[in-house]
Amino acid sequence: MPYPRGMSVFLIPSLLAVLSGGANSIVVAAGDAAAAPQNQSNRIELIKAFRNCALVEKIDVPHGGKLTAAGRSAAESCVVLGMAYEEGDFADEEGRPIERNYVLAFRYYEAACGAEVAFGCLSVGQLVEKGKAQPRNGNNVMSAAAKWYELGCLLPNSKDVRIACFFAGQSTFNSAASKKGKARAETLALALRFFSHACELGDDDSCKIVIENQQRSAKH
């Protein structure tokens, strides 16, 4: 998998800059009770983050609310809060540990996704795929995760869209294993469309998959 969950490490500095120095198809699983921060240097201005993300939640973009450029910047506060509660290695501005809580991680990632931040959609999908948020009604894990990745993939002018498209393709492809006949063929075709879009956005791994598929098709 070319983009492991650890990819958030590369996004933390830019997202923290916002706060420092200046689907409905899942049931959220309970997180670990309390994890001591491994890195107290990952501090965020918690009050500011809560304030910014609360404004984003109030705007309710999925139901017609409109975000300004400032609102979209504030939405990244939701991502930071989601990472803080998922990873459990952050501290607030006074150095107090922020306890790991997958329920809150889901809430804030979902808020970011709703505000058209692709990384939020991607992260909710990862919670589902890793069992930190469980599909309900017997839904397939990969299918449920793919829906969140797809939301991120379809966003315009948003960070991390190509990564969301790659994950949408990967999880859709994996979900095809449980299908047969026409349903399987349609699912595989959808996965290829996601990979193709990721390739168009500059994802090398997706381009390799698309090229390999074209080469196989040419042989038949």
pLDDT in tens, 60-108: 665 566 767 777 778 888 998 999 999 888 887 777 888 999 999 999 9
Which DSSP state fits 27?
E
Domain that holds residue 25: 5-219
Q: Is the pLDDT of residue 32 over 60?
A: no
The CATH number of the domain holding residue 17 is 1.25.40.10
Asked if residue 16 lies in contact with residue 39, where contact means CB atoms within 8 angstroms, the answer is no
* Mean of pLDDT over the chain: 77
Q: CA-CA distance, 132 to 144, in Å (whole number)?
A: 13
Domains in the chain: how many in total? 1
CB 56 within 8 A of CB 74: yes
With pLDDT > 70 as the criterion, what percentage of the chain qualifies? 73
What percentage of the chain's residues is helix, strand, coil (to nearest 5)? 65, 5, 30
For residue 108 the two structure tokens come to 């804030």
| 26: phi then psi, degrees, rounded to nearest 5 | -140, 160
